[in-house]
């Protein structure tokens, strides 16, 4: 056979279409991709120009006692964050939303009008607080000016670049360049404005953190004579912390928090024999605490005599609110030692969540249901196989509550025990002497810095005198709404209370909806419900 024939094609294989039409489509696709990339580059450039303009020409806003220079920040670490470096420490409000928003940097300065307040220890908390109206007025006056400066920077960079290109090429800018730059400017301004509006809303706030506030107050160089005196000496500093928290919660946290709460719980742990209950009493009064929840380790060596000698039991009785307690691993001297629980049971305002083995007290405080169980470990027990040792106690609790509604709060001492609980809206534990937050588990720090035994003397170095120092002190305040939801968790830490001169603190307010969500169903909590107890027994 003569002549040419088509080359046979493998079965099942087809060549991609080719020809002028396909080539044209590819060119168009590449052109659109290139233009889109160019547009993104121009948008980024003019956006940075707008941010730069707010930095070169910051906006000043004021309240009665504070002023702030406000600018936008392009730093990725501050995305969706209001960052405020102040002379009293840094404040960071972090927001979560589906939109990206530039960070807001507000450099706050204290005006002269507040200096007298800090010198007067008799001043009330309210004197330190900027009012909600002051904050709103400052924000309203600042937002418009900040937006205009950002827009001006966007336009200046965009059309300034066009002018430079035209000057370099010795010809006027093209219509396409003007339109292209105008679209980029519109996207930068519109996108930034939409992101800011969608992000910086009270219901998008995830946390508020401050650091270093107490480092500004005058130091007391001497060791104070008694624990009671130390606690009394520190209360002005705690007052300043509570003032900051109150102003924050009033303005920035979701609307549910500003409504009258059903209950406010002071969360403490790991007292370790140190009687600083006068400070606890002050916190209870200032923050209108409904009840205290103590997650254990009241003692150091499992001996009730420790607490008797330091007057802890008498101090607990004087608090004036329910004191809800589970035993920690330092609160017994052996597996069968019940002496601390028996002594605590004699105090009228104490509620033992597991008063006797495998018999539980479920307490309802203004409708908020609290349960929990003791740590089976004891002082002198080794730290090996902790989960294995906690498992029987957790199993017994889970079995007792298997057919009951899920408690709003379950309290344990060990974090490993908390993780073994089958059902709880919110878990609370102590033991680690540091604050934690893992899912719905709240790890409470030590209220007394771990007690006297956890402090040590730092040797004198050069011109610096030796210091008695140790772990940070910590407590939390959990607020529940009238719908029985956790609305906020406010966390406090600070150091060197034992010297009467706190040197560092941290305050964080966390949106409760990010921690735990209760079971569906209508429930109402409120102050009219009071305190009630129900006995729950294993198999009962």
φ, ψ of residue 376 in degrees (nearest 5) = -75, -10
Separation between Cα atoms, residue 384 and residue 377, nearest integer Å:
11
**Nearest alpha-carbon partner for 320 in 283, 368, 268:** 283
**Nearest alpha-carbon partner for 477 in 445, 449, 523:** 445
Half-sphere exposure of 220 (CA within 13 A, CB side): 19
Counting every residue, how long is the chain?
Answer: 540
**Nearest alpha-carbon partner for 404 in 534, 524, 501, 508:** 534
Q: How many CB atoms lie within 10 A of CB 399?
A: 13
For 370, the enclosing helix (H) or strand (E) is: strand 368-372
Q: Where are the alpha helices (DSSP H) in 57-95?
A: none
CATH T-level assignment (fold) for domain 208-518: Purple Acid Phosphatase; chain A, domain 2 (3.60.21)
Place of tokens 């992101």: 195
Separation between Cα atoms, residue 103 and residue 112, nearest integer Å:
28
Can you give the pLDDT at residue 360?
97
Can you give the pLDDT at residue 86?
58
What are the residue ranges spanned by the domains of the chain?
45-200, 208-518
Half-sphere exposure of 512 (CA within 13 A, CB side): 29
Cβ–Cβ < 8 Å for 277, 312: yes
φ, ψ of residue 27 in degrees (nearest 5) = -65, -40
| Tokens of residue 498, six digits | 């034992």
Task: Report strand pairing: 426-429 vs 441-443.
Answer: parallel
- Nearby residues of 500 by Cβ (< 8 Å), 6 or more positions away: 220, 222, 223, 224, 229, 230, 233, 234
Can you give the pLDDT at residue 67?
73
Can you give the pLDDT at residue 456?
56
Per-run averaged pLDDT (10 residues), the chain, 540 residues: 50 56 72 82 88 88 74 85 68 79 78 50 49 67 83 89 84 84 88 84 71 35 36 52 58 58 96 90 91 96 92 96 97 94 97 96 97 95 90 96 95 97 96 92 92 61 55 90 90 67 65 83 91 88
Cβ–Cβ < 8 Å for 146, 59: yes
Separation between Cα atoms, residue 130 and residue 132, nearest integer Å:
7
Residue 383 burial (10 A CB sphere; 0-12, 13-18, 19+): exposed
Write the DSSP string, 99-158: S---EEEEEEEE-GGGHHHHH-TT--GGGGPPPHHHHHHHHHHHHHHHHHHHHHHHHHHH
Cβ–Cβ < 8 Å for 292, 351: no
Q: Which residues share a beta bridge with 69?
A: 60, 107
């Amino acid at each position: 056979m003569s002549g040419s024939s088509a080359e046979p094609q493998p079965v099942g294989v087809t060549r991609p279409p080719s020809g002028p039409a396909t080539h044209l489509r590819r060119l168009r696709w590449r052109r659109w991709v290139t233009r889109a990339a160019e547009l993104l580059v121009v948008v980024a450039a003019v956006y940075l120009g707008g941010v730069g303009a707010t930095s070169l020409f910051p906006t000043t806003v004021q309240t009665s006692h504070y002023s702030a220079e406000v600018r936008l920040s392009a730093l990725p670490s501050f995305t969706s964050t209001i960052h405020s470096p102040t002379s009293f420490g840094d404040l960071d409000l972090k927001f979560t939303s589906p939109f990206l928003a530039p960070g807001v940097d507000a450099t706050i300065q204290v005006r002269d009008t507040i200096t007298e307040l800090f010198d007067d220890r008799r001043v009330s908390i309210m004197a330190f607080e900027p009012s909600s109206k002051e904050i709103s007025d400052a924000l309203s006056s600042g937002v418009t000016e900040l937006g205009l400066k950002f827009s001006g920077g966007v336009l200046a960079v965009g059309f300034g670049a066009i002018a430079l290109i035209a000057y370099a090429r010795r010809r006027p800018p093209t219509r396409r360049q003007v339109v292209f730059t105008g679209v980029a400017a519109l996207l930068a301004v519109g996108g930034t404005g939409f992101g800011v509006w969608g992000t910086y809303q009270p219901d998008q706030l995830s946390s508020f953190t401050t650091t270093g506030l107490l480092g500004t107050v005058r130091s007391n160089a001497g060791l104070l004579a008694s624990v009671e005196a130390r606690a009394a000496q520190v209360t002005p500093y705690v007052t300043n912390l509570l003032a900051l928290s109150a102003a924050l919660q009033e303005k920035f946290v979701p609307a549910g928090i500003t409504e009258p709460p059903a209950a406010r719980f002071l969360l403490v742990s790991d007292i370790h024999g140190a009687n600083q209950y006068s400070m606890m009493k002050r916190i209870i009064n200032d923050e209108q605490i409904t009840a205290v929840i103590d997650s254990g380790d009241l003692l150091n060596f499992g001996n009730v005599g420790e607490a008797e000698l330091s007057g802890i039991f008498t101090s607990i009785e004087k608090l004036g609110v329910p004191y809800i307690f589970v035993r920690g691993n330092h609160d017994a001297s052996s597996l069968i030692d019940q002496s601390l629980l028996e002594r605590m049971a004699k105090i009228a305002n104490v509620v033992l969540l597991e008063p006797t083995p495998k018999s539980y007290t479920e307490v309802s405080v203004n409708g908020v249901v609290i349960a929990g169980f003791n740590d089976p470990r004891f002082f002198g027990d080794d730290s090996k196989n902790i989960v294995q040792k906690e498992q029987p106690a957790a199993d017994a609790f889970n079995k007792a509550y298997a057919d009951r509604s899920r408690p709003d709060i379950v309290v344990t001492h060990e974090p490993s025990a908390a993780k073994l609980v089958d059902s709880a809206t919110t878990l609370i534990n102590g033991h680690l002497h540091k604050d934690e937050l893992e899912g719905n588990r709240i790890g409470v720090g030590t209220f007394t810095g771990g007690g006297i035994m956890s402090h040590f003397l730092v040797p004198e170095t050069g011109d610096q005198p030796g210091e008695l120092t140790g772990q940070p002190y910590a407590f939390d305040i959990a607020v529940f709404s009238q719908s029985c939801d956790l609305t906020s968790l406010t966390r406090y830490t600070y150091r060197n209370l034992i010297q009467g001169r706190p040197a560092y603190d941290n305050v964080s307010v966390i949106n409760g909806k990010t921690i735990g969500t209760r079971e569906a169903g209508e429930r109402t909590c409120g102050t009219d419900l009071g305190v009630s107890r129900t006995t729950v027994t294993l198999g009962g």
